[in-house]
Amino acid sequence: MYQDKYYIAKTSGFYQEALESYGFARLLHMILNNDEGLSQNIKIIDNKSCYEVLIEDFEKSSFQTKIDVFCKDPKIGFDYLFKESKNGTAKPVDPQNNKELKIPVFDISKEWEVVKNFNQEDKSENSQAPHEHFSIYELFSHFAIEFLGKPHFGGTTQGGAFTRTYLQVLYNKSNFKQFIESLLFLYSSIDNQLIVSNYQKFIDTSFPQKNHEGNKYTYQVLSTNHKPHKGAYNQLTTPTAIKGANNAKLKLSEMSGEPELLREYMKILGTFESMVSIGGNKTMEDYRVYVSIPKDIDLIQQKDIIKKFRKGFYTNSTYKGDIYSSLLFSKLLIEYLEIEQENLFDFDYTPANYIQGFYVCQFMTMKKSPPKKHAPINMAFIELPTFIKATNREKADKWVESLNKLIHIIRSIKLTEKKEETGDTVRGLAFFRDFISSSKLDSFFDFSFWYANYLMKKLSENEHNRQKNVIPFRESLLHQIYNSMNTKELNLTEIIENEGFKAVASAIRKSTVTLQYTPKESRKFDIRYGLAQQLQNKSKSKEDLATFIGEFIGTYNAETGRNAEKNGGKSFRPNVKDEELIQFYTLLNNNPSRLVGALLSSYGFALNKKDAPKVESPLEDNSIEE
């Protein structure tokens, strides 16, 4: 039972066990680091059928001693969430003496005012920052709090999963050592969670009927019908136990059945370490909840990164939310590792080696007035990109810069200023989300074809304001993405460095996007509108693509020559040479036409400093906000 490694079996297929793992790690962290001194770390590791929670630098006797010390005055790990109703409600009391409990209170209404008035630029002493866990408490206030018709034994009408869990643990915290030891037993092996007789032992250990002398235990509960070892299911922590939006008997916050109190306690603890949400406001009444799923990460690392992630992550857009979660967490993880491991020679800044990605649950708001009704309408998993690999400081810095650029590009994709994810923009964002989540080249090819068309359309719609509407890719960013996706079967670097490919891509660029960023009075050539769509259509076969490129280059060279004649032999752009065109045809002959066409679409509609030195990102800050 007192061991360095514990196991949380995966049984739900969704994020419940991840929450439980983070929660158990949080509890261990509180126990092991309750006193002053060096922080003892906890690792959370994915092991296919279970999550492993590993105590580093484990010493059994020290662990037992720290449990004894912690249990003398245990910390529950989160504050009691008190929310006033219209008629007011009393603070909780101790059922034994009916005196008001002196416990921390989290006032949602006051915290909302702090959030609304908070100014990051204000560094004065009077400036008040929002509570670091405000977003989690705000979530629980909607998903796990409801008001009862009459006060329960705790003297307040506030009920629900969060309140019940907190007060049941608080009222019986004299039994905290039993709670801890029963959890240590439960997680000491997977069998203890899956075999009925072993699981019953966990229940008997957490809330035994009799003590060692044979005397009957008495426990404080919130009502006559409550069993001390039972909690309540909640939508936020157990979405798979909820019936969908079409269920006629959808309840406010709770589901039927009573789970084990201590496991629900662990899930609630886990939300503080791993959960982020968007929505629940005027522009997005539904909620979209993200839970980071561990691969092999230290709890201290997770704490630092998730704290920064919550501050920088906000959007009203569903697709962008999925994309941002993956890109932003990857960036923050690399930045953290750069600082943490700056003096180490062994670099591993591949984000997917630490966090797999995010389980995502979309909750529809069925009833908007308090207490709200919610129902899950979509559950998904978004992976972190596996192609992001940094084996040294230089590559790590480069990826941080590139991830910022990708975030800015995706942020700029909009149908209009007011409408984002409608019509054609949904297709493009879906392509990019598939690419980020799967790291599959085909998905990026789909996006590249789409983005070339989108870019040209947006640039032509409003030339005077184009810098605020859309951001073209840079060649350097494309180089980094494609070079990181080389395989034994496919060497993308050889293709994009081919002189014939570069010449054709440059010709496309100088006929389209480069001209868009050239003032009308300075243009020497007409913009080739429709070229992006033609390139996509002709990339379906080698013969069609070869013919199309041949005709395009013929026209391009002719226009270049005529312009040079008008300007006394001075050429404003280079011709594509015969040997370069031959090199391109050889390349096309040796590779799939869709591959070559997509790469041309990427590079043909990208920019470099020489083409458009004054084009800058309109989004210089690192926050994500719509």
Query: Which sequence spans correspond to the domains of the chain?
Result: 440-604
How confident is the model at residue 616, as a pLDDT?
42
How confident is the model at residue 252, as a pLDDT?
44
Instruction: Among 326-335, 394-403, 514-523, name the one with the lowest average pLDDT.
Output: 514-523
Is the per-residue pLDDT at 199 higher than 90? yes
How confident is the model at residue 286, as a pLDDT?
82
Across the range 342-371, mean pLDDT stands at 79
Strand, helix or coil at 249? Answer: coil
DSSP string for 1-41:
---SEEEEE--SSSSHHHHHHHHHHHHHHHHHTSSSSSPPP
The pLDDT tens digits of the residues spanning 92-149 come to: 888 888 888 888 888 888 888 888 887 766 667 677 788 888 889 988 888 888 778 8
Assigned token pair, 372: 């709200």
Across the range 458-466, mean pLDDT stands at 70
When comparing pLDDT for 552 and 525, which is higher?
Answer: 552
Q: Is the peptide bond before 371 cis (omega within 30 degrees of 0)?
A: yes
Dihedral over alpha carbons 441, 443, 447, 448 (to 10 degrees): 20
Across the range 326-334, mean pLDDT stands at 94
Is the per-residue pLDDT at 621 higher than 80? no
The pLDDT tens digits of the residues spanning 384-441 come to: 999 998 888 888 899 999 999 999 999 888 865 555 556 788 999 999 999 999 999 9
How confident is the model at residue 626, as a pLDDT?
45
How confident is the model at residue 499, as a pLDDT?
96
The pLDDT tens digits of the residues spanning 554-598 come to: 998 998 888 877 777 677 788 899 999 999 999 999 999 999 999
When comparing pLDDT for 516 and 381, which is higher?
Answer: 381
Among 168-182, 246-260, 508-522, which range has the highest average pLDDT? 168-182
Which is nearest to 508 in space by CA: 466, 468, 455? 455
How confident is the model at residue 429, as a pLDDT?
94
- In 285-414, which ranges are E strands? 287-294, 296-298, 355-367, 373-383
- Say if pTM beats, i.e. exceeds, 0.85: yes
Is the per-residue pLDDT at 280 higher than 70? no
When comparing pLDDT for 59 and 367, which is higher?
Answer: 59
Please name the residues in contact with 432: beta carbons below 8 A apart, sequence gap of 6 or more: 323, 410, 443, 444, 447
When comparing pLDDT for 369 and 510, which is higher?
Answer: 510
Dihedral over alpha carbons 38, 62, 293, 448 (to 10 degrees): 40
* Contact of 589 with 596, CB cutoff 8 Å: no
- The maximal CA–CA distance of the chain, rounded, in angstroms, is 108
Q: CA–CA distance from 402 to each of 153, 156, 234, 295, 475 (Å)? A: 56, 52, 39, 23, 11
Question: What's the chain's average pLDDT?
Answer: 86
Q: Is 445 exposed, middle or buried (0-12, 13-18, 19+ CB in 10 A)?
A: buried
* Contact of 596 with 545, CB cutoff 8 Å: yes
Instruction: Among 139-148, 301-310, 457-466, name the one with the lowest average pLDDT.
Output: 457-466
When comparing pLDDT for 66 and 467, which is higher?
Answer: 66
Is the per-residue pLDDT at 254 higher than 70? no
How confident is the model at residue 416, as a pLDDT?
57
CA atoms within 13 A on the CB side of 229: 17
Across the range 26-39, mean pLDDT stands at 84
The Cα–Cα gap between 496 and 507 comes to 14
DSSP string for 283-301:
S--SEEEEEEEESEEEHHH
Query: How wide is the angle at C-alpha 552 spanned by C-alphas 546 and 557, nearest 5°?
Result: 125
Cross-strand partners of 519: none
Task: State the pLDDT confidence band at 269, using cuts at 50, 70 and 90.
Answer: very high
